[in-house]
Structure 1
Amino acid sequence: MSSTTKPTDFDRGYAQVLATRLRRIPTLAWVAAAVGGFIGSVPLGLMMQYGNPEPLIALALPMMYGFSGPDLLAGWAIHQFHGVALAVMYVAAAQWQPVTGHAKTLRGAVALAVVVGVVSTALFSVLLMPLWLGAIGYPFTPTVPDLAMPEKLWSVFGHVIYALPATLGYALVTRR
């Protein structure tokens, strides 16, 4: 490469480009999404605790991390941690070029909350949790894939409600 040409994203490698983009995100954007994820996890957790016949918060989540259960406090702590971690992952994913502009607008944030709700239900509730729960011997393990209706529609709704504070928090801090 000559000194007169500018390095392209391909030349520098995708990992370097992503690392550069992530470093450019204002700290307040990370914090807003994380706080939003924590806040959004509360109604989702309440839906899980009171809307499911099996004890997901009190038993499934603690068992997934090696705690004996039921343990409602441990379940809620794990659930809230998941909410913050997923919100931070959302901020990283929002740096993907096709999404970046939408993530910085309120309308785009609402649309992305729906996407996050659908994708997180598909990945976690339908696929990952049934596999993980089966591996640890959870007594109420669903089949894989877990497509039980209307529970999965309820899960999508809950995950959209969860995602709204995270996506809106990020958008409010970074909007154009």
Structure 2
Amino acid sequence: MATETSTTAVQTEDNAWQYGVVAGVIAAIVMGALMVMQMRPVIEVAIPSMYFLAGGAAGFTIHVAHGAVLGVVFAAFATTRPDLTTAKAIAYGVGYGVVLWAVLAVIVMPVWLSAVGSPANPPLPNVSVTSLVGHVVYGAVLGVSYSAFRRQ
């Protein structure tokens, strides 16, 4: 019986990065939908121009890919929390979303867009409450999704 329990624990740990990918994709799709409704130029111009691309489909795809990678980073953190409840995962996710906003949206994105000569180059720092709300939503959905996958 102990071997079975141990195997289950290892299985969850081994799958943590996969849970992070899927939870990150789900969260990025939700955030992306908000962006399409409230920040369309970011999805259609800013994000794709980071990679010398254009259009909403490219922007949405890149945004979801970023969300997947950032979901794996969240999973790496979450695996260090053995007492992770759904409430804690949501709280960590919201905090993570705020950190992502402060670092990636406020600082990194404007610098990157300036470096590639994007026509959608925002000011530095790029402080936007709408973007903050989107990142908080990303984090909350990431936390609840990751927790749900981890508990199955």
Contact 1:34–1:166 (8 Å) recurs in 2: no
From 88, 94, 109, give the equivalent of 1:108: 88
For structure 1, the residue ranges without an aligned partner over 5 or more in a row are: 1-22
Higher alpha-carbon Rg: 1
**Are the structure 2 counterparts of residues 36 and 73 from structure 1 closer, same or farther at C-alpha, using a change threshold of 3 Å?**
same
Contact 2:27–2:141 (8 Å) recurs in 1: yes
Offset at residue 164 of structure 1 (A): 2.4
Amino acid at match of 2:41: P
Structure 1 match to 2:4: none
Offset at residue 39 of structure 1 (A): 1.2
Structure 2 match to 1:89: 73
Measured in 2, the distance between the counterparts of 1:30 and 1:166 equals 13
Secondary structure of the residue that 1:74 maps to in structure 2? helix
After the TM superposition, which parts of structure 1 deviate over 6 Å for at least 4 consecutive aligned residues? none
For structure 2, the residue ranges without an aligned partner over 5 or more in a row are: 1-10
Task: State whether structure 2 residue 141 is matched by structure 1 residue 165.
Answer: yes
Give the helix-richer structure, 1 or 2.
2
Pairwise mapping of residues 1-176 of structure 1 onto structure 2 (< 5 A)? 25-27=13-15, 29-52=16-39, 55-67=41-53, 69=54, 71-96=55-80, 100-101=81-82, 104-147=84-127, 152-174=128-150
Deviation string, structure 1 residues 110-146 (Cα, Å, up to 9, x no partner): 1112101210100111000010011111223122111
Greater CA drift, 73-82 or 29-38: 29-38
Measured in 1, the distance between the counterparts of 2:149 and 2:25 equals 17
- TM-score of the pair, normalised by structure 2: 0.81
- TM-score of the pair, normalised by structure 1: 0.71
Structure 1 match to 2:3: none
What is the root-mean-square deviation of aligned Cα atoms in Å?
Answer: 2.3
Greater CA drift, 117-126 or 42-51: 42-51
Contact 2:23–2:141 (8 Å) recurs in 1: yes
Query: Aligned residue pairs: how many?
Result: 142
Deviation string, structure 1 residues 35-88 (Cα, Å, up to 9, x no partner): 121111122112222312x61111212211122x2x222111111101111001
Measured in 1, the distance between the counterparts of 2:123 and 2:99 equals 19
Offset at residue 33 of structure 1 (A): 2.4
